[in-house]
Amino acid sequence: MEKIVEQLISMPRIGDKAPEFKAITTQGNINFPADYKGKWVILFSHPADFTPVCTSEFITFAARELEFNDLNCQLVGLSIDGLSSHIAWLRTIKEKIEFKGMKNIEVKFPLIEDITMEVAKKYGMIQPGESSTRAVFFIDPKGMVRAIIYYPLSLGRNFDELKRTLIAMQTADTYSIATPADWQPGDDVIVPPADSCGVAKDRMETNEDGITCSDWFFCTKPLPIEKIKMQ
């Protein structure tokens, strides 16, 4: 029994290589993450088709897919239902469901069939303490897991936050900085702590490159929104 539980909740950690799998999807077969080399991927799970919260999320992701694509990011969904159920659900979304003024929405990104739960188990998407969770995995162009967010069944995802998270990680990679609490593109960013006493002293005294230091370990600098890839 312990081995079964361990298998169900085993999951990759941030910094791990994304577990590999081959799967049938609503857009054909995929080999993950090899097919997405050089791109960011948001891999997100749903407990089942024809569930109301998940329906609202699929509509929103589909309506905003181009925003993520413009950030070099591909969307990949997963549900443990079969392909026929997926197709029927996505058809129903397009033909019948309206949410926040979004209607006639066609889901064009792949939705994985995972009847055997092979992928769900590899990514730890099934947790014994909660019957239905929804996960989001951010995977970078090198196939590494960079961020993980879990949601309970009752809580719909915040898509502005998912996009902000993606932009923040891309910005951090590009400029070798970190982003502070509640950061939005255009806000000041955090400069990595000084690696020597001399550098720390210089930062505190010279304001080089617009760097402002409250103390040696907490320094920020402007990063204009024009320098950040937004879409």
Q: Could you read off the pLDDT of 123-139 as tens digits, one per residue? A: 988 765 555 678 999 99
**CATH for the 176-227 domain, from 3.30.70.20, 2.115.10.20, 3.40.50.1000, 3.30.1020.10:** 3.30.1020.10
Q: Could you read off the pLDDT of 37-89 as tens digits, one per residue? A: 999 999 999 888 999 999 999 999 999 999 999 999 999 999 989 999 999 99
Show binding-site residues.
Answer: 134
Show binding-site residues for substrate.
Answer: 134
pLDDT score at 4: 43
Q: At what angle do helices 52-63 and 83-96 cross, to 10 degrees?
A: 70
Instruction: Domain 2-157: give its CATH code.
Output: 3.40.30.10
Average pLDDT over residues 142-167: 95
In the set 54, 73, 213, 219, the catalytic residue is 54
pLDDT score at 83: 96
Q: Could you read off the pLDDT of 167-209 as tens digits, one per residue? A: 999 999 999 999 999 999 999 999 987 666 666 666 666 667 7
Q: Which spans in the chain are helix H?
A: 2-9, 52-63, 65-69, 83-96, 118-122, 159-175, 197-206
Domain coordinates in residue numbering, the chain: 2-157, 176-227
| Catalytic annotation present for 197 | no
